[in-house]
Amino acid sequence: MNESSGMTGTSESVSYELALTAEEAGRGTQKLLARNNKRLQVNIPAGVTAGSVVKLTNALELTDGRRGDILIQIRIKGEGPLSTGDVTPGVIEINDGSFESEVLQAGLPVVVDFWAPWCGPCRMMAPVMEKAEEQYRGKVKFCKLNVDENPGMAGQYQAMSIPMLLFFKNGRVVEKIVGAVPESQLRTKLDSMM
């Protein structure tokens, strides 16, 4: 999700863009929104279309401790303003429920960062992942999965030590890195996947 800020009436609002598949938009879905080390479960109703806005009234009170709404503008993957096709800019926060569609069914190679907010080395990896996402946008998809909130996938992929980066190609794990690594080592792994 991409973030922007603005004012609505007397309170501030924060806007995010959320890319959904056409199937998710048609049937409705649930997504996790990460903000200020807090997680909000967002219920996207069935039948949303590109440009629809889902308003989370007073949600900033939960995440920021101040008045304001979170506005989520819907984009349908393959449509809309982004020139990278089905690639949403930024590292995508995924969960047990979205893992299959975001990772296993992705048309691009995918890097999944298994992490937790309390993990210092995980926080060190965040800017490395963000920079790599900018450099490889349109070539590799970057996701992160909070192991505390998603025990299903964490258990399935045996994320015993974090951060753990899994590299997927055509829905299968092809590489694995455990522990924080420098940007150069991550680039080397990414280049080997191309």
Look up residue 17 and give its two tokens. Answer: 């863009």
For residue 90, what are the contacts with CB-CB under 8 A and spacing of at least 6? Answer: 1, 2, 130, 133, 142
**Torsion from C-alpha of 56, 112, 125, 5, nearest 10 degrees:** -20
* pLDDT at residue 4, as a whole number: 47
Digitized pLDDT (tens) for each residue of the chain, 194 residues in all: 444 444 444 457 777 777 788 888 888 888 877 777 777 888 888 888 877 888 888 888 888 888 888 888 887 876 544 333 344 568 899 999 899 989 999 889 999 999 998 999 998 998 999 999 989 988 999 999 999 999 999 999 999 999 999 999 999 999 999 999 999 999 999 998 87
DSSP assignment letter at 162 = S
Nearest in space to 168 (alpha carbons), one of 94, 104, 99, 85: 104
Give me the active site residues, please: 119, 122
What structural domains and CATH numbers belong to the chain? 2-76 (2.60.260.20), 92-193 (3.40.30.10)
Look up residue 56 and give its two tokens. Answer: 């989370």
Strands in 36-94 per DSSP E: 38-44, 53-56, 68-76, 92-94
* pLDDT at residue 89, as a whole number: 66
